[in-house]
Structure 1
Amino acid sequence: MSSNTGSNLPGSQEPDVPMAASPLTRAVLEIDEYTAGLGWDQPARLFALVDTARLRAQEPGLAAQLGLDSTAASTAVSYTPVEQEELPAGTALDEFLATIAWPDAVAGCALTVERLMLPPSAEASVPHDLSEKQLAQWVAKHPDRQEVRMTVAVLRDGARESAVRLREKDSAKEVLTGADLVPGLADALAATFAD
């Protein structure tokens, strides 16, 4: 597991996440808040999710570097996102994800990516004879397009969570969460754990 230590998430400072949220939801919202702080028009970012207690025990140096206070050990399950190296430029996301194999210490992974989306009302007007590149150009010119940042996480056990933030409603209070918001991306991430 590599870490991009220049921009790791501070483990001891969680965003305003509801305490009742699941550990995976808390991790997704922490990543969303971190990437929101970097601004828009960012490249895709990949994170390993590691069990925080296990990280403290097995990698105390890395845990200290991430700001995880060893005296704040808790019996509650939590996941620490560790940002991975930058994704290779010019490689399609699905092709890149197909090359990943995680070590056993990684409990899950997450990806944050920005995309243009159309509301359901615009789906009927989408031309069907366009290539993928032409379709992307058509969507980019559509007056109802919306820029979104999607953060999707999966665990080895199959659990999933997503957070979607609209650029026009760029506020932590406006982030939509749910397990099935971005199923295709969740499937691609889950495949990185397949044997």
Structure 2
Amino acid sequence: MTDDSPAPQTTADPAQRALADAVREIEHHVAAAGWDAPVRVFALVRTQAALAAEPGLAAQLTPEVLAAAAAEPWHLTSIEQEELPGAPDLESLLAGLTWPESVDGAAVTVERIVLPPAAEQHVPDDEAAALEYLLTHPERQDVRLAVGVLRGGAAWCAVRTRANDADDAVGHGPDLVPGLVAAVRSTLA
């Protein structure tokens, strides 16, 4: 995956920078497929280690990615996980995932509907009525969340709204979605 938008501002920590770049690239890749997408899960591995373990991977990577990996030991490659196990919700899916030690981190993308706090107070208790309320509320915002976490603890989030669906309008930061960060982090325990 490649992305020409500017890298988000991060700390001087190389792992944090690499994670921020990986999450930005994942979000951009998922955004290219449009909205109303299912949950997507990615393993994050250090590109140098992946190339050492699987030399044939070099043929699948662009020269720019290979050069970046050679220059930066923390450069990460994302590997989308196909055929995710069935789960009734995101929390159950993440609770059932574990990663081998060769995986340095994990990332997930998910779409959600958010309402202003005042509107959330009026969500009906009935599940069907609550869904109808969310889908028809005039102040609803559709958002795509991309969250990545490394085994060492670093986290990075990207948030895109459907109303401002542009690469330069994506919010970035280490703790924008703390609950989802914690859930993805638990898959690495």
Aligned residues: 181
2:185 and 2:87 mapped to 1: Cα distance? 23
Query: Quick check: 1:114 aligned with 2:114?
Result: no
Residue 38 of structure 1 and its aligned partner are, at CA, apart by: 0.6
Residue 86 of structure 1 and its aligned partner are, at CA, apart by: 3.7
Aligned to 2:146: 151
Aligned to 2:158: 163
The structure-2 alpha-carbon separation of the partners of 1:35 and 1:184, relative to structure 1 and needing over 3 Å to count, comes to same
The code of the aligned residue for 2:182 comes to D
Aligned to 1:183: 178
Residue 119 of structure 1 and its aligned partner are, at CA, apart by: 2.4
The structure-2 alpha-carbon separation of the partners of 1:14 and 1:126, relative to structure 1 and needing over 3 Å to count, comes to same
The structure-2 alpha-carbon separation of the partners of 1:82 and 1:66, relative to structure 1 and needing over 3 Å to count, comes to farther
Query: Quick check: 1:95 aligned with 2:92?
Result: yes
Q: Which runs of 5+ in 1 are unaligned?
A: 1-9
Residue 149 of structure 1 and its aligned partner are, at CA, apart by: 0.6
TM-score (normalizing by structure 1): 0.83
Residue-by-residue CA offset, 1:37-65 (whole Å, 9 max, x unaligned):
11111111000010111112212223432
CA RMSD of aligned residues (A): 2.1
Residue 97 of structure 1 and its aligned partner are, at CA, apart by: 1.2
TM-score (normalizing by structure 2): 0.85
The structure-2 alpha-carbon separation of the partners of 1:139 and 1:20, relative to structure 1 and needing over 3 Å to count, comes to closer
Picking from 40, 43, 52, the partner of 1:48 is 43
Picking from 32, 38, 41, the partner of 1:37 is 32
Aligned to 1:15: 4
Decide which moves more: 35-44 or 76-85: 76-85
Aligned to 1:65: 60
Q: Is the 8 A contact 2:159 2:170 kept in 1?
A: yes
Identical pairs, percent: 45
Residue-by-residue CA offset, 1:75-101 (whole Å, 9 max, x unaligned):
352111110114345532211111111
2:130 and 2:164 mapped to 1: Cα distance? 25
Q: Which runs of 5+ in 2 are unaligned?
A: 11-16
Residue 180 of structure 1 and its aligned partner are, at CA, apart by: 1.4
